[in-house]
Chain A
Amino acid sequence: MVHPLASSVSRRRMLQGSFALGGAGLLAALAGCQSGSGDSSSGAATLKSLLPGDVPQRWTEVLAAVNTKLEADTGLRLDPEFISWTNYAEQEMLKFTTQEPFDSALEATWLNLAQLLSDGALADMTELWESGRFENLNATIDERMVEYAKYQGSLYTIPLVANFTSPPGFVIRQDLADKYGIGEITDYETLEKFLYDVKQKDPDLIPFGLDAGYVNNTVVPNPVALFNAQSWDDPAKCVQLLGTHFEGSDLSPVPFWEQPDIVESLDRMRQYYLDGILNEDALTLDMSAVRSLFAQGRYASTTAGADGLTSPTFGPVADNVDGAAIAQVFPFTAGLDAVIPATFQAANNMVVPAYAETLEEVFEMMDWLSVQENHDLLSYGIEGEDWEATGEHSYEQISGYAFPAFAMSWRTPLERGLAGAVESDRAWVEWTRDFENFKADHLAGFYFDSSAVASEQAQVNAVFDEYVLPLYAGVKDVQPGLDEARSAMEDAGYETVVEEYRRQATEYLAGS
């Protein structure tokens, strides 16, 4: 059979044509990349911000109101780009890599912060922060958080904080605890009793719903872990890297398999798994699925941080299950009298690319957002349409508007609590906003730069996901699992990574 193109179009012409098209396509793509940041087509400079999640309900109306006021006050406009949570980290990294024009982004140690700092990809904010020109911003973000956010003495991130730290705790079905005669849960033994009572007396419910994201918080204390009973009684240890604790003044590394409290907790997790206390699919389930299943009444408890979101997130279970009520459980036996170590590294930060020329404008916008009225407008929406104030620091939600405030407008003194929040939730959030309840961990302020051991770090991370996280979730037998994990981690270069961490941490401590 003769190919129809063979007789009339030469292969060379075909290739030339495709290369020309490819070149044209690339040029068009590159040209497209060059527009956007600091766009001032309407006369006002427009700031493009990368934010995680879906576009909120009523976003068009709220953004229009924000921009009307922001433009009138500062001459700036805001144009956030919402990127799905599932690929925010990759998308953001690609945008940095291709130097796509944007002005700010949410960043964190659990995203790409370490690499961006190590590569010098972030704008230095030290001078502007210290200039004193942005009084509102300076006044609403605690200076101590700013100090601990510094990398090698300079500030590259604006910490976004609603509290000083947010340890993982529990939300439980208090109506069930009351039904079993347990009442308020204040220690680990009572929590365990609650979980087993649920299993025995309400077998249709799963006592605890665990998602893949929180598996890392089950046994390794930082300084508390959900199912590490010892950390409840003595929350003193912050485990830093791959389950390793750097002990004493010489930062002697102790791997997780040599820490008795962690090994004991692994045994406990395994038992819980075998007894049906935990869901079997923790390693594949994401947080939103767990929250949704809790709201449907499938779980009797799950994880809830001290971010003020417990009541709005889990409260709806009362709409689906007759008589359901929730309570926040603090993961400390000392309750709200506990004083715990913290690294004071904000879980969320705003960063500006080093190549952006709008750092000052971003500071102006952040300063504007540090005024109560403006903060409320972006965080809660249009007053009267999306929310109503019910006190100086509380509000009632009217519409379904939910902005990811943690990525831009979180300011501890300006945050409002949701009216009707359960008392235990409100009390815990208050506790996390008091600096006196925390003491600085010896490695607070230290950032690990893994570029010198990048290959080993990548291999160890892969091994950690495969062999260690299943142990943390209780899905593997502990002793053979530990032997397997230890051997795989050592083969992957665990000791090299730990030694590099220790070297840098020692240098940091010597210099601080």
Chain B
Amino acid sequence: MRSDKSILILAVPALAFFAVFSYGPMVGVIVAFKDFSIVDGIIGSPWNGLENFRFFFESGNASRVVRNTLMLNALFIGGTLISGMALAIMINEVRLRLLKRTAQSVVFLPYFISPIVISVMLQAFLSGFGGSGGMVNGLLDGFGISPVSWYTEPGAWPWILTVVKIWQMAGYTSIIYLAAMTAIPTDVYEAAVLDGASRWKIALRVTMPLILPVTVILLVLQIGRIFMGDFGTIYAIIGDNGTLFETTDVIDTFVFRALRTSGDLGMTAAVGLFQSVVGFVLIAATALIARRISRKSGGL
């Protein structure tokens, strides 16, 4: 009984957080089915069925923002996991302790940089301060390639955003992998060395298979959030630039813009509800897959 209490006490902050910030506000989803009036409030506003969903699904934007959300997140997940693992293996190979720690800190640093700062840095790289030139175009010019007007070229942006995401998150992910690598018994490496394996072979045949369970956990955790767009980064960089919406507009940026331009809470809540329902289905599916993987691997 005493252990029950102590466990419950430990869980209180997390329970309180989710209860107040996740479950409590769920009452507000009814706005999605109301003709919301500021004066009448959430409860007093009249019901209007599925009218609020019309705005999203009739606009033709639904399929596009869903596609962008899934595609960008897939690129982000793939990019950060692969680059994080590669980075971790490289750092793990560094034998000089000081250099290793310095490398860990340097690659981790971008994780703390604000999206606004990232957007300014990117602007300087792509179009220069003031909207003319830019470092990348200078480089292209050096190779005799015509400069590109990056902020009007939607095709390039999924890749640009992925590079930004990798730069931002690879270091963070690599730290998780490095933590997992410390758990690999040293005798496994010693056996591999005795067998004459090169460092590359050791990384490929020993390290990577042994950190695969961590990759699976990271993957399922991120797939559970695949329907959540990275609003902070994408909106800070793209803003209201309509020429780039075709490939960069995700559900979160669409909802924010819709609220700002229409001011209608009902319609934006309807889009948010759609996002939550599909996200819930994905999370449930991910949980099932994770449970199955967990059983097969004897419990992760």
A-chain residues with CB within 8 Å of residue B46 when the two chains form the complex:
none
Q: Tell me if B38 and A21 are in contact (CB < 8 A).
A: no
CB of B23 closer than 8 Å to a CB of A: yes
Q: Which of A97, A454, A458, A459 contacts B38 (CB 8 A)?
A: A97
A90, B60: Cα distance in complex, Å: 25
Q: Is A54 an interface residue (CB 8 A)?
A: no
Indicate which residue in A9, A89, A120, A276 contacts B7 across the interface (CB closer than 8 Å).
A9
Pick the residue among A99, A298, A354 that contacts B129 (CB under 8 A).
Answer: A298
Which residues of chain B from 1 to 41 have any CB-CB distance to chain A below 8 Å in the complex?
3-4, 7-8, 11-12, 15-16, 18-20, 23-24, 37-39, 41
Interface majority SS on B: helix, strand, loop or mixed? helix
| Contact of A90 (CB < 8 Å), options: B59, B131, B260 | B260
Chain B residue contacts of A130, Cβ below 8 A: none
The verdict on A119 contacting B55 (CB below 8 Å), with A1-B299, A22-B19, A93-B263 known, is: no
A126 within 8 Å of B (CB atoms): no
State whether B15 touches A462 (Cβ < 8 A).
no
- Determine if A22 and B24 form an interchain contact, defined as CB atoms under 8 angstroms apart: yes
- Please, which residue of chain B has its CB at the minimum distance from the CB of A26? B24
B293 within 8 A of A: no
A22-B20, A115-B263 known; A281 vs B127 contact (CB < 8 Å): yes
Contact of B131 among A8, A280, A455 (CB under 8 A): A280
In the complex, A342 Cα to B237 Cα: how many Å? Answer: 37
- In the bound complex, what is the Cα–Cα distance between A5 and B38 (angstroms)? 44
Any chain A CB within 8 A of the CB of B239? yes
Q: Which residues of B contact A8 (CB under 8 A)?
A: 3-4, 7
Which of the segments B96-104, B158-166, B207-215, B240-248 contacts the partner chain? Answer: B240-248
**B41 pairs with A284, CB closer than 8 A:** no
Contact with A293, one of B60, B130, B257 (Cβ below 8 angstroms): B130
A160 to chain B minimum Cβ distance, whole angstroms, is: 21
A374-411 contacts to B, CB under 8 A, are: none
Complex: chain B residue closest to A96, CB-CB? B38
A93 and chain B: residue at smallest CB distance: B263
Residue tally, chain B, CB below 8 Å to A? 54
Q: Does B186 contact A (CB under 8 A)?
A: no
Q: Which of A412-433 contact B (CB under 8 A)?
A: none
- Which of chain B's residues 122-151 have a Cβ closer than 8 Å to chain A? 123, 127, 129-132, 149, 151
Q: How large is the interface on A (under 10, 10 to 19, 20 to 34, 35 or more residues)?
A: 35 or more
When the two chains form their complex, are residues B132 and A18 in contact, meaning their CB atoms are under 8 A apart? no
Within 8 A of B (CB), among A225-258: none
Bound complex: CA of A18 vs CA of B23, how far in Å?
Answer: 9
Determine whether B205 belongs to the interface, using a CB cutoff of 8 Å to chain A.
Answer: no
A476-B246 Cα distance, complex, nearest whole Å: 14
Please determine whether B7 and A119 come into contact, CB atoms closer than 8 angstroms: no
Identify the closest chain B residue to A20 (Cβ): B19
B54 at interface, CB cutoff 8 A: yes
Establish whether residues A9 and B8, one from each chain, have CB atoms under 8 Å apart when the complex forms: yes
CB-based contact B20/A29 at 8 Å: yes
| CA of A153 to CA of B241, assembled, Å | 39
**Is the CB–CB distance between A119 and B39 below 8 Å?**
yes
Q: Would you give the shortest CB distance from A266 to chain B, in whole angstroms?
A: 15
A121 touches B39 (CB 8 A): yes
CB distance from B261 to the nearest CB of A (A): 4
Tell me the minimal C-beta distance from B298 to chain A in angstroms: 8
Binary flags per residue of A4-37, CB closer than 8 Å to B gives 1, else 0: 1100110000100111011101100100000000
Tell me the complex Cα distance, A455–B51, Å. Answer: 8
Per-residue 0/1 for A343-356: is the Cβ within 8 Å of any B Cβ (1 yes, 0 no)?
Answer: 00000000000100
B107 at the interface (CB under 8 A from A): no
Please give, as numbers and ranges, the residues of chain A lying within 8 Å of B230 by CB-CB distance: none
Q: Is A299 a contact of B51 with CB atoms below 8 Å?
A: no
Return chain A residues, CB-CB under 8 Å to B23.
18-19, 22
Q: How far is the CA of A457 from the CA of B58 in the complex (A)?
A: 12
Chain B residue numbers with a CB within 8 Å of A99 are 41
Check if A206 sits within 8 Å of B132, measured CB to CB. yes
* B262 interface hit (Cβ, 8 Å): yes
- B123-A465 in contact (CB<8A): no
Contact A476–B15 (Cβ < 8 Å): no
User: Does B261 lie within 8 Å of A284, measured CB to CB?
Assistant: no
Q: Is B273 an interface residue (CB 8 A)?
A: no
| B41–A283 CB distance below 8 A | no
Tell me, in angstroms, the Cα distance from A22 to B18 when the chains sit together: 8
- What residues of chain A lie closer than 8 Å to B51, measured between beta carbons? 455
- Whether B38 contacts A121 by the Cβ 8 Å rule is yes
Residues of A within 8 A of B259 (CB): 90
A458 & B55 in contact (Cβ 8 Å cutoff): yes
Chain A neighbourhood of B131, CB < 8 A:
206, 209, 278-282, 285
Is there contact, CB below 8 Å, between A467 and B20?
A: no
Our pick among A120, A209, A458, A469 for the contact of B130 (Cβ within 8 Å) is A209
In the complex, the answer to whether A212 meets B240 with C-beta atoms within 8 Å is: yes
Q: Are A461 and B7 in contact (CB under 8 A)?
A: no
- Which residues of chain B are within 8 angstroms of A269 by Cβ–Cβ distance? none
A119 to chain B: which residues have CB within 8 Å?
37-39
Beta-carbon contact of A112 and B263 below 8 Å: yes
Residue with the highest number of chain B CB atoms closer than 10 Å, among A299, A457, A459: A459
Q: Say if the beta carbon of A189 comes within 8 Å of chain B.
A: no
Cα of A27 to Cα of B4 in the assembled complex, Å: 27
Question: Smallest CB–CB gap between B241 and chain A, Å?
Answer: 4
Report B-chain residues with C-beta under 8 Å of the C-beta of A354: 39
Distance of A112 Cα from B38 Cα, bound (Å): 11
Contacts A1-B299, A458-B267, A491-B60 given; does A476 touch B243 at CB 8 Å: yes
> Are B257 and A465 in contact, with the CB atoms below 8 A?
yes
B151 touches A466 (CB 8 A): no
Interface residues of A (CB under 8 A from B): 1, 4-5, 8-9, 14, 17-19, 21-23, 25-26, 29, 89-90, 93, 96-97, 99, 112, 114-116, 119-121, 206, 209, 212, 276, 278-286, 293, 298-299, 354, 454-455, 457-459, 461-463, 465-470, 475-476, 491-492
Would you list the 4 A-B pairs with minimal beta carbon distance, nearest first? A279-B131, A22-B19, A25-B20, A1-B299
Given contacts A90-B260, A279-B132, A465-B242, 6 further A-B contacts (CB under 8 A): A97-B38, A206-B132, A280-B152, A284-B239, A461-B261, A462-B61
15 interchain pairs, CB-CB under 8 A: A18-B19, A26-B20, A89-B263, A112-B263, A115-B263, A212-B240, A212-B241, A280-B127, A454-B262, A454-B264, A455-B52, A465-B261, A475-B149, A475-B151, A491-B60
